[in-house]
A and B are shown apart, each in its own frame.
Chain A
Amino acid sequence: MVNYLEQLESEAIYILREVAAQFKKPVLLFSGGKDSIVLSRLCEKAFRPGAFPFPLLMIDTGHNFAETLDYIQLRMAQLNEKLIIASVQQSIDAGRAQEETGPEASRNRLQSITLMDAINGHGFDAVIGGARRDEEKARAKERIFSLRDSLGSWHPEAQRAELWNIYNGRLAAATSEHMRVFPLSNWTELDIWQYIQRENLSVPGLYFAHRRLCLRRQNMLLAYSEFVPRQATDEQVELLVRFRTLGDMTCTAAFESTASTFAEVIAEIKVSQRTERGSRLDDKRSDAAMEERKKEGYF
């Protein structure tokens, strides 16, 4: 029998190959974050020496970390696959989305509109994402093949049975239902890092300790940026920090850390008393923030 990481790897490759076989027009969400980096390696394992049977899709909020954009360019050059960029700014310009205002303005929620427009515009029938069940309590409830209605809504109370590893990817004809597929459902944050280390994958430098100008707001450290509206009580500090999860600059908080290698990151996560998404402002808007956004089409 294979070891635990290989078991997870084989399960994910199996799921990716099922997507390729069961759908006409899949797409892989690629944000340049650690989960999508792992997915991109798993696609190489599933489909090389051939090309990926689907393009990659990045939702660009326009409020990205420069390091993430550089990384995406680097990884895409290695992969030599097609990348589609869907821009939140374009959704705003076209009047499809309305920019939030106020001190906590973020484009996080607007991404769902841009994503749904991209899905409908390109006619994607399966959208592969890197969400994991260990991240968040609503995600802990989701199937690996998770149906979305024509509006992109998730119906947690009416999920299909999903038995053994026999995946039912059927969609109603003549509707714009689509399937969200999560090959990393059974991976934990620790598994992701152990796999990145094993595969020696490069990741954006944001995941390692670096000196950064930050805004201290309550118990959060936000990256100092033109995209992050200042609040009167914000304190400006320069600290040695790293990020545990990467959203855009408005919704991702840093934390103080000296971990600068894979081994140190892994050691830090093992003893951490905080959850991975504890530094996500987008999850903190309400107790059911994730579930509500998922019902709007969020990934």
Chain B
Amino acid sequence: MQLLRIVTIGNVDDGKSTFIGRLLYDSHAILSDTLAELELASPSQQQKLSTPFNLALLTDGLKAERAQGITIDVAYRFFTARLSQASQLSQVKERKFIIIDAPGHAKYTKNMVTGASQAEVALLLVDVTKELNEQTLRHLQIIQLMGLRQLVVCINKMDLVQYSQSHFENLKQKIIKLLNTEIKTSVSFFPISAVLGDNITSLSQNTPWYQGPCVLDFLVEIEASSLAKSSERAFCLPVQGLITAQDGEPLYCGSLIGGSVQVQDEVLIFPSQVAAKIKSIETYDGSLLTAPAGKAVALKLDLTLDKSLDNKSLDKSIAIKRGDYIVAKRAGLNSAMLNLHIRQGRRAEADIIWLGEEKLQPQQQFLLRKNTFECRCKITENFLPANEIGRVIIYAEQELVYQAFSEDKDMGAAILIDEKTNLTVAAVMFRGI
């Protein structure tokens, strides 16, 4: 069964939490004891609505959120759904979802960015009765920059404009104009009412002019291929740590990104660029001949391959440690697939989303963490205020090993940590320049 992770975005009060509540309620993903609990927690004027409780309470789980009626931090909800028209096509399609309810309030943008970093699809809620505002634009910029390739736009509160098609089209065109056309994003639009349930888990009688599927069917059917990062590439293993095999040899632990590994694969270690070969792939369940992308493994290496190393220098340069990268150099593949895209250097250009409360200061020093690697760095002069996006040059104390974020999220993402507060203050997306 395929998994889809969706983050809801949009301005505060445009109905994100209500939408999720409606989606879960109408797809029968709320169990009866939770319903009873929610009815008790809902205000008494609830009866005018078509659900017995306040839908937003389902994800607004913190006391402060319930008291203020807004979402402060990300909530994760899990559910499984199938197509509403089960007779369609071949077999019944079913899908597992993690739906990430992100706060709309500008003050909590760092939490929205946290949610977006975990998702493949962004679901934007916009209020049809209001003008588009800065916060909606900011969220759109963030999700495009963070590489979410699929955007589902729910134009909400259609009941308040008598389900008018012209209102819908008008807002749709405005949103299309806000998107950055340099970043490829597929966009779909849905006329909905989260409070009343129109076009969410079934098509509504109120919008006869709307020809597309309901939101849930669309989400069940999104092709995994449109979300996949790209086709199979050469693998890379960011080294997490070392354990000792029973024979006393070191095992390099980590999770594979990019592609699969096979015994006998030739590899290069970054940043030392020492050549080696995969001797064996070890897991708790036994040795493997091959392991797929995503799997947590431990690799045994043959380091006698690099003839340029005499025995003396060998000891030093092969001290492979946490933060290094073991990268495939697979025979038979076009060399452009190999290490061409891996960049190495102390200076790198990147887009950042600044999450600190204070403005970014010139020459400010940070800890940069990327995969399992960490070193100090400085950022070029730039006075980014909180929650703003900027393009910067990073000067690192050690060699950075990275790819462009647009080519590979796993190899192109990093964070900045403020050493004084230990807070994570920026999302970093390396550029391929």
Contacts and interface: CB of A to CB of B under 8 A. Distances in A.
Interface of A: 1-2, 4, 6-7, 9-10, 13-14, 17-18, 20-21, 44-50, 133-134, 136-138, 140-141, 143, 156-157, 159-164, 166, 168, 170-172, 185-186, 188, 272-275, 278, 287-288, 291
B255 interface: yes
Q: Is the interface of A mostly helix, strand, loop or mixed?
A: loop
A116 B75 CA distance: 27
Contact of A161 (B58, B76, B111): B111
A21 B78 contact: no
A6 B113 contact: no
A146 to B, nearest CB: 11
B421 to A, nearest CB: 8
Given A2-B294, A45-B296, A161-B424, A50 B243 contact: yes
Given A1-B292, A21-B372, A163 B63 contact: no
Given A134-B78, A163-B413, A47 B243 contact: yes
A227 B275 CA distance: 64
Interface string B396-425: 000000000000011001110100001111
B1 interface: yes
A272 B32 CA distance: 9
Given A161-B424, A291-B62, A273 B31 contact: yes
B369 A166 contact: yes
A274 B294 contact: no
A220 B392 CA distance: 60
B294 A1 contact: yes
A2 B111 contact: no
Interface of B: 1-3, 31-34, 37, 40-41, 58-59, 61-64, 72-78, 96, 98, 110-111, 113-114, 117-118, 240-241, 243-246, 253-255, 283-285, 292-296, 322, 355, 367, 369-372, 409-410, 413-415, 417, 422-425, 427
Contacts of B254: 14, 17
9 contacts: A4-B1, A10-B296, A48-B284, A137-B58, A137-B61, A137-B75, A141-B75, A273-B33, A274-B31
Given A10-B295, A13-B255, A172 B62 contact: no
Given A166-B413, A168-B417, 18 more contacts: A10-B296, A18-B372, A21-B322, A46-B296, A48-B284, A49-B243, A49-B244, A50-B243, A134-B77, A137-B75, A140-B77, A157-B73, A160-B424, A161-B427, A163-B114, A164-B409, A168-B369, A288-B63
A159 B41 CA distance: 25
A14 B322 CA distance: 13
A288 B62 CA distance: 7
Nearest to B75: A140
A9 B296 contact: yes
A18 B309 CA distance: 31
A6 B295 CA distance: 7
Contacts of B370: 166
B129 to A, nearest CB: 30
Given A14-B255, A45-B296, A162-B114, A156 B245 contact: no
Contact of B72 (A21, A133, A157): A157
B111 A45 contact: no
A224 to B, nearest CB: 24
Given A133-B78, A288-B63, A291-B63, A163 B117 contact: yes
B240 A45 contact: no
B416 to A, nearest CB: 10
Contacts of A48: 284
Contacts of B425: 161
B171 to A, nearest CB: 31
B294 A160 contact: no
B62 A161 contact: no
A231 to B, nearest CB: 22
A163 B61 contact: no
B360 to A, nearest CB: 15
Interface centre among A46, A50, A141, A162 (most CB of B within 10 A): A141
A272 B31 contact: yes
B3 A162 contact: no
Contact of B294 (A10, A45, A134): A10
B413 A164 contact: yes
Nearest to A279: B33
Contacts of B78: 133-134, 188
B76 A140 contact: yes
A164 B117 contact: yes
A273 B32 contact: yes
B73 A159 contact: yes
A50 B244 contact: yes
Nearest to B371: A166
A170 B366 CA distance: 13
B345 to A, nearest CB: 20
B258 to A, nearest CB: 11
A172 B418 CA distance: 11
Given A10-B295, A157-B72, A274-B32, A140 B423 contact: no
A291 B60 CA distance: 12
A186 B98 contact: yes
A40 to B, nearest CB: 12
A21 B241 contact: yes
A186 B284 CA distance: 22
